[in-house]
Structure 1
Amino acid sequence: MAQAKVLSFGSLNLDFVYQVDHIVLGGETIDAGEVATHCGGKGLNQSIALARGGADVAHAGIVGVDGQALLDICRESGVDVSRVHVDEGRSGHTIIQVDKHGQNSIILFGGTNRGVTQAYIDEALEGYGEGDLIVLQNEVNMLPQIIESAAARGMRVVLNPSPFDARIDECDLSRVWLFFVNEIEGEQITGK
């Protein structure tokens, strides 16, 4: 029996983290003590965790021309990025303020993560089928279509419904084989 293949389909973000005395107020300008750039996005993080845990995993997603570091860290971690498209736009990114008490404030820009089309979904799923796993989160567009397309191929759909928003309500959650949730997302889905 062939081993199930794993496709992680999701976001690839550049995280710009600014250390500040306090979270900036409306109309205020403050100095940042330091800034660091990190590779992130729930999709990238899930791919790297799977690969470092020993899974043979490929990533599907879209990066901008500024996303070479995202591809590099995936490759260095053992993630197959041959299905990742590079687009002319800007990669998804976050601007994160972290104050001296560790409190943060995050702005998320979807960028190329929001460029998924049905044609790309079909291309990314090529070669996957019955019993293979697809690992998803809610940081790319067309999540309902990805779930439906993967389920129609007999793939087992694994979903981290984060960030939880109205787009989750558009998904056929009966198609999900396994949920990865924390207590807040569990309550948001079940109402309990």
Structure 2
Amino acid sequence: MRVVNFGSLNIDYVYRVDHFVQPGETMSAQSLQIQCGGKGLNQSVALARAGVETWHAGLIGPEGHFLKETLDRAGVHTRFVEESAGSTGHAIIQVDSTGQNSILLHDGANGRLTPDFVTAVLDQFSAGDTVLLQNETSCVEEIIHQAARRGMRTAMNAAPANEKLVGLPLEALSWLLVNEVEGAFLAGTEAPEAILDTLAARYPETTVVLTLGEQGAAAARGGWRAWGPARKTAVVDTTAAGDTFTGYFLRRALEGGTLEEALSLAAAASALAVSRPGAADAVPGYEEVLRIL
């Protein structure tokens, strides 16, 4: 059960604010923390803490080596994390008094993945292994095509939702994970059931997972549907909620669990993550998640 995650590696500048800054407004932040981030890094940490053998593939700038060290400490293999010229990717994150977040991204090294880099990494894996993707790096289409040719399974968390998603061969995915915003962007409709129906019909060989925040999550594959309720918890910071969900959902899916089991495990892990501040640091360990199930 090996997963190689072609994932973003970001330095997060996290500002605590009373409310999100508005156009034309200047205000003082309550605090600033500099943290490890990027959906890719967070999802690799989540997979590793869920007990999955995880390899991260990505690029950092010279100031980003502490990101690689964070992956190492979480048990992620970092042989394919390499230094690139230019800056590391970074994010400006506002976290308001309710725990909601607003994020501004700069690609940096995440945008410098090349087809040669992709080939060199995937040459070290084989049919039956799994590739994980997000929409925060370059070469996503190349990775999907190569993984399919090699007989590998591919999961994609289609975030952020932007024009880069248009035209990607999403029908080649084994799993497509979206939240309400991303799902609406891809499906062209906002009602959760309609999102699932549209994407399941468009990608009949793909398991589509739709996360709905406090309303839980749903999954579809062809005509099959599954539902998982959210777990109630005090919300401190939602930054890594979706990334934690992705890692734990894949843990159960890869070991042959049902969709309901995968949704339940992922919901429990996410509930723990949002009850804590931070991103990668908030991701719980597998035994801790099992204790609340």
> TM-score over 0.5 for the alignment?
yes
2:80 matches 1:83: yes
2:68 matches 1:71: yes
Q: CA deviation at 1:103?
A: 4.8
Over residues 157-185 of structure 1, what are the superposed CA-to-partner deviations in whole Å (9 max), with x where a residue is unaligned?
11111112221122111210112223443
1:113 to 102, 110, 113: 110
**Distance in structure 2 (CA, Å) of the matches to 1:152 and 1:114:** 23
Alignment of 1:87-166 (within 5 A): 87-166=84-163
Q: CA deviation at 1:28?
A: 4.2
Q: Between Structure 1 and Structure 2, how many residues are aligned?
A: 189
Greater CA drift, 33-42 or 72-81: 33-42
Counterpart for residue 181 of structure 1: 178
Which residue identity does 1:59 align to in structure 2? H
Which residue identity does 1:89 align to in structure 2? G
Greater CA drift, 14-23 or 179-188: 179-188
Q: CA deviation at 1:75?
A: 0.4
Q: CA deviation at 1:151?
A: 1.1
Which residue identity does 1:88 align to in structure 2? A
Task: Give the unaligned 5+ runs of structure 1.
Answer: none
Contact 2:161/2:181, CA 8 A, preserved across alignment:
no
2:37 matches 1:58: no
**Distance in structure 2 (CA, Å) of the matches to 1:26 and 1:95:** 16
**Distance in structure 2 (CA, Å) of the matches to 1:139 and 1:130:** 25
1:45 to 20, 42, 46: 42
1:33 to 11, 30, 33: 30
Which residue identity does 2:92 align to in structure 1? I
Q: CA deviation at 1:149?
A: 1.2
Q: Give the structure, 1 or 2, with the largest relative contact order (CA under 8 Å, sep 6 or more).
A: 1
**Distance in structure 2 (CA, Å) of the matches to 1:153 and 1:103:** 40
The root-mean-square deviation of aligned C-alpha atoms, in Å, is 1.7
**Distance in structure 2 (CA, Å) of the matches to 1:163 and 1:70:** 21
**Distance in structure 1 (CA, Å) of the matches to 2:6 and 2:121:** 8
Task: Give the unaligned 5+ runs of structure 2.
Answer: 189-193, 195-293
Question: 1:147 and 1:91, CA in 2 relative to 1: closer, same or farther beyond 3 A?
Answer: same
Indicate the structure with greater helix content: 2
**Distance in structure 1 (CA, Å) of the matches to 2:38 and 2:121:** 19
Contact 2:154/2:175, CA 8 A, preserved across alignment:
yes
Q: CA deviation at 1:37?
A: 1.2
Contact 2:60/2:89, CA 8 A, preserved across alignment:
yes
Q: Say which SS state the counterpart of residue 183 (structure 2) adopts.
A: helix
Which residue identity does 2:110 align to in structure 1? N
Q: Say which SS state the counterpart of residue 81 (structure 1) adopts.
A: strand
Q: CA deviation at 1:137?
A: 0.8
Q: CA deviation at 1:127?
A: 1.5
Q: Say which SS state the counterpart of residue 150 (structure 1) adopts.
A: helix
**Distance in structure 2 (CA, Å) of the matches to 1:131 and 1:138:** 23
> Please, what TM-score do these two structures have when normalized by structure 1?
0.90
**Distance in structure 1 (CA, Å) of the matches to 2:51 and 2:82:** 24
Q: CA deviation at 1:102?
A: 4.0
**Distance in structure 1 (CA, Å) of the matches to 2:137 and 2:157:** 12
**Distance in structure 2 (CA, Å) of the matches to 1:183 and 1:26:** 25
Greater CA drift, 129-138 or 31-40: 31-40
**Distance in structure 2 (CA, Å) of the matches to 1:161 and 1:115:** 19
